[in-house]
Structure 1
Amino acid sequence: MFGLRKWSTPFLRPAGPFMVGGAVVFYLVAKMQGAMIDSDEYRNDPRNPAAGK
């Protein structure tokens, strides 16, 4: 009665576009953050983690 069913509920196929979209958004936000850290406006800010280089 319990356990694996003959027709299992699909998970990856309907959730696949959301996983891909999440990965793309994560990548783009990381790229934007890196570009903002290296910008001229915040290059000498003491709160900038890349300022010590």
Structure 2
Amino acid sequence: MFGMRAWPTPFLRPMWPFMAGGALTFYGVAKMQSAMLEVPEWRDSPKNPMPRAPAATTAH
């Protein structure tokens, strides 16, 4: 297409360490974020994007 040839260059073989490192970093940051949102200081804060559900009441 447009005079370009498809050269058989390897892409995944030399890039796998960077892809694995990116996946591990993403996983680690997600775990740290969820752990930090459960700290008692921020658990009940109105700034918390994932608030806990209020306790169920049995007032019937």
TM-score by length of structure 2 reads 0.73
Alpha-carbon RMSD: 1.6
1:24 is matched with 24
Q: Shift in Å at residue 2 of structure 1?
A: 4.8
SS of 1:42's partner is: helix
SS of 2:42's partner is: coil
Structure 1: which 4+ aligned runs deviate by more than 3 Å?
1-5
Larger radius of gyration: 2
Structure 2 runs not aligned, ≥5 long: 54-60
Structure 1 runs not aligned, ≥5 long: none
TM-score by length of structure 1 reads 0.81
1:34 is matched with 34
Q: Which has the higher contact order (CA 8 A, sep 6+)?
A: 1
Query: How many angstroms apart in 2 are the aligned matches of 1:15 and 1:36?
Result: 32
Aligned residues: 51
Q: Shift in Å at residue 3 of structure 1?
A: 3.6
Q: Shift in Å at residue 26 of structure 1?
A: 0.1
Matched ranges for 1:3-14 at <5 A:
3-5=5-7, 8-14=8-14
